[in-house]
Amino acid sequence: MTDPSSLFAELQTLATEQRNPLSMEIDTASVREILEIINTEDHKVPIAVREEIPHIEQAVEIVVEAFRQGGRLFYVGAGTSGRLGILDASECPPTYGTPPEMVQGLIAGGPKAVFRSQEGAEDVEENGARALEEAGVAPPDVVCGIAASRRTPYVVGAVAYARTIGCKTLFVTCNPRSEFNLAVDVAICAVVGPEVIMGSTRMKSGTAQKLVLNMITTASMVRIGKVYENMMVDLQMTSKKLIERSKRTVMMVTGVDYAEASRVLESVSGHVKTALVVILAGVSAEEAKQRLETTNGFVRPAIIGDFGA
């Protein structure tokens, strides 16, 4: 159990727990002034994230290598950070056609914490380690801790456990790198400064974390062939919107009309990548599937028949 006095002392020094001098009078401000203060502070977030691109790049390289080896990405967080990890993970299957287990989010307090705060659940390091153990985490899986403060015991425990079993580890925080003292492969430290409301890290810190997680999974999916040009081509046709988006993608890339796009998609069980290769390479569905297998799912070389490297 953490000594309350040491925790109090630690909180006093965290960048995410400082008072913001630009919002000191927010309690007397008009609605317009409140919104302008928040918006002005929010403008600092993408700048802070941009400064971390070299480290985000390293994280992506680790995740891509894990995916290529059949590994998974696990996000681990508490509160807002945990919910953001679950959000990013849950959106990968419909967007990129990935199996649900490929990117997973674990949150202190379990699934119920997604909908209702379970604040005390984050205070025990062993809980984080246990969550990974129960999920069957093992190399080549990657574990990414998410904690604006860097200190969340549940997250620290999970990352420490992951390292003991040989997994690569990442950490996304909003406190300075100079104060980061955990052993991880890559730390991403997007320092956004004090929150408009002191300690409310669901604001700028949460926005920064969301941007970073978007970048990690999006760049990783691009690098394993889930995107053609700038379009999703491994999406799952699980809703009317996604069915129509699939048809529109085929039409935009190939120039065929709606009826032809629908026909080809139906002939390949709705798989957009295969439909693109069938039309643009002028091959059968079976040949298109073989080409995509040879190119590890990358559409461009499958179309032109580049099976070299």
Is 85 within 8 Å of 146 (Cβ atoms)? yes
State whether 122 and 28 are in the same domain.
Answer: yes
Three-class secondary structure of residue 223 per DSSP: helix
State whether 119 and 102 are in the same domain.
Answer: yes
State whether 56 and 101 are in the same domain.
Answer: yes
State whether 175 and 81 are in the same domain.
Answer: yes
Q: Show the CA angle centred on residue 71, arms to residues 68 and 72, nearest 5°.
A: 120
CATH classification of the domain holding 276: 1.10.8.1080
Check pLDDT > 70 for residue 6. Answer: no
DSSP 73: E
Q: How confident is the model at residue 134 (pLDDT cuts 50, 70, 90)?
A: very high
CATH classification of the domain holding 65: 3.40.50.10490
Is 288 within 8 Å of 305 (Cβ atoms)? no
DSSP string, 191-218: ---S-SSTT-TTTHHHHHHHHHHHHHHH
Q: In whole angstroms, what is the distance from residue 185 CA to residue 144 CA? A: 10
Domain-ending residue, one of 223, 241, 267: 223
Q: Which one of 61, 91, 260, 287 is the catalytic residue?
A: 91
Domain-ending residue, one of 189, 223, 257: 223
State whether 218 and 236 are in the same domain.
Answer: no
Q: What is the residue type of 201?
A: T
Q: Which one of 52, 122, 125, 195 is the catalytic residue?
A: 122
User: Is 260 designated active site?
Assistant: no
State whether 158 and 24 are in the same domain.
Answer: yes
43-76 tens-digit pLDDT = 999 999 999 999 999 999 999 999 999 999 999 9
Query: Mean pLDDT throughout 153-160?
Result: 97
Q: What percent of the chain clears pLDDT 70, i.e. is strictly above it? A: 94
Number of domains in the chain: 2
Domain-ending residue, one of 223, 242, 273: 223
If one counts every other C-beta atom within 10 angstroms of the C-beta of residue 238, the result is 12
State whether 278 and 139 are in the same domain.
Answer: no
Q: What's the pTM value of the predicted model, to 2 decimals?
A: 0.91
Cis peptide before 94 (omega within 30 of 0): no
State whether 193 and 246 are in the same domain.
Answer: no
User: Is 91 designated active site?
Assistant: yes
Tokens of 265: 């998609």
pLDDT of residue 8: 59
DSSP 171: E
State whether 40 and 184 are in the same domain.
Answer: yes
278-297 tens-digit pLDDT = 999 999 999 999 999 999 99
250-272 tens-digit pLDDT = 999 999 999 999 999 999 999 99
State whether 299 and 160 are in the same domain.
Answer: no
CB burial of residue 63 (10 Å; 0-12, 13-18, 19+): buried
State whether 143 and 242 are in the same domain.
Answer: no
Q: How confident is the model at residue 4 (pLDDT cuts 50, 70, 90)?
A: low
Q: In whole angstroms, what is the distance from residue 100 CA to residue 82 CA? A: 17
State whether 41 and 162 are in the same domain.
Answer: yes
Q: In whole angstroms, what is the distance from residue 56 CA to residue 84 CA? A: 17
Q: In whole angstroms, what is the distance from residue 262 CA to residue 17 CA? A: 54
Q: Does residue 1 lie in a domain region?
A: no
Is 38 within 8 Å of 203 (Cβ atoms)? yes
Q: In whole angstroms, what is the distance from residue 136 CA to residue 246 CA? A: 34
Domain of residue 292: give its range: 232-304
191-238 tens-digit pLDDT = 999 999 999 999 999 999 999 999 999 999 999 999 999 999 987 777
Q: How confident is the model at residue 157 (pLDDT cuts 50, 70, 90)?
A: very high
